[in-house]
Structure 1
Amino acid sequence: MTAVNGGAAPGGGAAADGADTRSSAHLGRADDTVAGVVRQWQAVHPGLDTGPIEIIGRINRCAALFQQAEDAPLRRVGLTRPEFELLCALRRTGRELTPSEVARETFSSGAAVTKRLKQLTERALVERRGDTRDRRVAHVRLTDAGRDLVDGVLPEQLTYETAVLSGVDSAAQEELAVLLGELLGRLEGRLGAPRF
C-alpha cells in the first residue's frame, strides 16, 4: 500500500494531541511501524479512516519482513524463495506441469517462471521436455536431485518459520490463520484468482 510502503508519511512526526480518537483507540492495540504511519496520516488528515492501512499495511509489512528473515535455510542451499516455491509446486502436485501451470501454482508471471526454470534447469534441479503433439508446449518435472533437495530443506524451512512465529501463542496463530484464510478467500473470489 502506497500509504505505508514509503515508510514515513508526510509530516514526519507523530500525530498531534487532537488526532482522531477512533483511530487512536485502534492504535492502542499495537505500537509498530504501521501504527506510527497511521499517527502521521492522522496528523495531516485528522478525519481520515485509516482502518485499511492498519490491516493491509501490516500484512504488507509482515510479508516484507518475513521474506527478509525466513530464507536462512534456503540461502544455505543457494535458493531464493521464489525458486523454492517453484520446486515445491512440482513436488506437492506430484506430476509434470507446464510453465503456465507453474505460474498459476506460484502466483508468478510467465516471464518470472521462464527465468527461474532456466536457472533451475542449469542446476539440474528440474528438467523440461517438449510435448510430442505440440512443440510449443513444454512439460517441467523435478529431477531426482530436485526432489531430494526439497525433501531435505522443507522440514528445516518449516522449523525456521515456526521459530519466526514463536512470539505468537498457538491459539492466536490459529485465529490469525482463520482470519487470513477468510480474507484470502474473499480476495480470490473478487479478483478471480485460481483456487486449489
Structure 2
Amino acid sequence: MADAIDIIRAQWAAAEPDVDTSPAEVVVRVLRIARILQKRSDDVLERLGMTRAEFDILSLLIRAGRPVSPTEICDQLWTSGAGTTKRLHKLTERRLIVRLPNPQDGRSMFAEATEAAREQVVPVLHELTRFEGQLIERLGGSKDSVVDALRTLLAAVEDDRAEPDPRALLRSTALRRPAPGRAAT
C-alpha cells in the first residue's frame, strides 16, 4: 500500500536519481506520524479544556510526586525557561500548582501539583490514553516489534555521536558531480 512518503521518494528518484532517499521510509514517516498524533491528541486535550503545555507540566509534576525545579521541567519537557516560567505563573494563578522555596537556593522555587491538578489531569489522562490505545490497536500483533524498533531508533537519535557533522554533509554535497545536463552550482 503506497503512501505520501512513497510518492515523495519516487519524485526524488526522478529528480535526483543519485540520492538514496531510503532513510525517509522511516524518518519522514515517524515525523509525519508525530505531527498527526500531536494534532489529534491536542484536539482531545482542547475538548477537555486543557492545553498541551498545561497537561505536560502537570503530568510531570504528578508523576514526580515531589516538588520539581523549573530547570528540571525545562530539561524534561524540552521547553524554554521563559515559556516554562509563564506557564508556571498561570498554573499557580489557577491553583493547580503551588510554588515552594528551594531550601538549597533562596533565589529559586520548586513547583508541586495540587490535588485540584490531579483531579483535572487524571480524567484527561484516561481519555488521552484511550484515544492513543485505539490507534495502537491497529498494529495488531506487530505492536511489540514496532515498539522495539522505535526504542532502538530513539536510542540512536538520543546518542549525540549519531548526529552527523553538518560540515561533512556540506563537503559531501559540494563535491558531488552535477547530474548530466545540469550545471554545477
TM-score, normalised to structure 1's length?
A: 0.75
Distance 1:134 1:120, change over 3 A: same
Q: Secondary structure of 1:124's partner?
A: coil
Give the superposition deviation at 1:132. Answer: 4.3
Which of these residues, 139, 148, 158, is aligned with residue 188 of structure 1? 158
Give the superposition deviation at 1:185. Answer: 1.6
- Hey, what's the Cα distance between the residues in 2 that align with 1:154 and 1:145? 14
Which of these residues, 20, 25, 42, is aligned with residue 49 of structure 1? 20
Which of these residues, 143, 148, 155, is aligned with residue 173 of structure 1? 143
Unaligned runs of 5+ in 1: 1-29
RMSD: 2.0
- Hey, what's the Cα distance between the residues in 2 that align with 1:46 and 1:172? 33
Higher Rg: 2
Give the superposition deviation at 1:84. Answer: 0.9
Cross-structure match for 2:60: 89
Cα contact 1:70–1:164 (8 A) shared by 2: no
- What amino acid maps onto 2:98 in structure 1? E
How many residues were matched structurally?
162
Unaligned runs of 5+ in 2: 163-185
Aligned positions of 1:40-189 closer than 5 A? 40-169=11-140, 171-189=141-159
Cross-structure match for 1:6: none
- Hey, what's the Cα distance between the residues in 2 that align with 1:118 and 1:34? 42
Cross-structure match for 2:171: none
Greater alpha carbon shift after TM alignment, 129-138 vs 154-163: 129-138
Give the superposition deviation at 1:191. Answer: 6.3
- Hey, what's the Cα distance between the residues in 2 that align with 1:173 and 1:184? 16
- Flag as ranges the 4+ runs of structure 1 deviating above 6 A: none
* Paired-residue identity, %: 34
Distance 1:157 1:191, change over 3 A: farther
Cα contact 2:95–2:114 (8 A) shared by 1: yes
- What amino acid maps onto 1:85 in structure 2? D
Give the superposition deviation at 1:43. Answer: 1.4
Give the superposition deviation at 1:106. Answer: 1.7
